[in-house]
């Protein structure tokens, strides 16, 4: 393995840093041109956000796509006033998760309702569904 001096390492790092800065400048120029095109068309240009208030672009992933929406479904069931069914809960939660299909949310909500009913005893079955008609539940203590 070849030996590298501190000066050579610093020069290499400085070179890469300069290349990165130049790339950022090019991207900013491209964004400026895109903004100008949008203004020409009369469309709304998003206002720049201060770096400290920018949302994080990479968040630590909690759960997976298989569990996305689960907590919202559970909370909707536990906060429901009066009887509810899975299609009603899915209709409430669906706008928050437009990228997840109705079928996936419905399956997830059915599984959560079953667990809350059978295992946690936090909801109770009011009327059993049959065929295409869904089960009707209500919150325990309500």
The 10s digit of each residue's pLDDT in 56-104 is 544 445 555 667 788 999 999 998 888 999 999 999 999 988 888 899 9
Q: Which residue has the higher pLDDT, 45 or 87?
A: 87
Which pLDDT score, from 0 to 100, does residue 89 have? Answer: 92
Q: State the average pLDDT for the chain.
A: 83
Which tokens go with 47? 């206002």
Query: Which residue in this structure is represented by tokens 């909370």?
Result: 75
Closest CA to 104 of 120, 116, 90, 124: 90
Which pLDDT score, from 0 to 100, does residue 59 have? Answer: 46
DSSP alpha helix (H) spans, the chain: 6-41, 70-79, 86-93, 102-114
Q: Strands 136-139 and 84-85: what pairing?
A: antiparallel
Q: For the structural domain made of 70-139, what CATH number should be given?
A: 1.10.10.10
Closest CA to 78 of 10, 8, 141: 141
In whole angstroms, give the CA distance from residue 60 to residue 137: 34
What are the extents of the domains in the chain? 6-53, 70-139
- Beta sheet of 136-139, edge-to-edge order: 84-85, 136-139, 123-127
Does 47 score more than 70 pLDDT? no
CA distances from 28 to 13, 14, 31 (A): 23, 21, 5
Which tokens go with 69? 């929406």
% of the chain beyond a pLDDT of 90: 47
Which pLDDT score, from 0 to 100, does residue 45 have? Answer: 53
In this predicted structure, which of 13-22, 33-42, 73-82 has the lowest mean pLDDT? 33-42
Which tokens go with 128? 């059993």
- Please give the torsion angle defined by the CA atoms of residues 111, 114, 120 and 125, in that order, rounded to the nearest 10 degrees: 150
């Amino acid at each position: 393995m070849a030996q590298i001096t501190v000066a050579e390492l610093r020069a290499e790092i400085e070179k890469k840093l300069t290349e990165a800065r130049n790339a950022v400048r090019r991207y900013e120029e491209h964004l400026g041109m895109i903004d100008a095109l949008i203004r020409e068309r009369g469309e709304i240009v998003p206002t720049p956000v201060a770096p400290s208030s920018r949302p994080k672009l990479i968040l630590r992933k909690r759960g997976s796509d298989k569990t996305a929406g689960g907590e919202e479904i559970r909370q909707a069931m536990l906060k429901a006033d009066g009887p509810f069914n899975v299609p009603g809960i899915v209709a409430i939660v669906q706008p928050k998760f437009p990228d997840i299909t109705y079928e996936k949310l419905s399956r997830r909500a059915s599984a959560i309702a079953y667990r809350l009913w059978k295992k946690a005893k936090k909801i109770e079955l009011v009327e059993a569904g049959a065929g295409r008609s869904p089960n009707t539940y209500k919150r325990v203590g309500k």
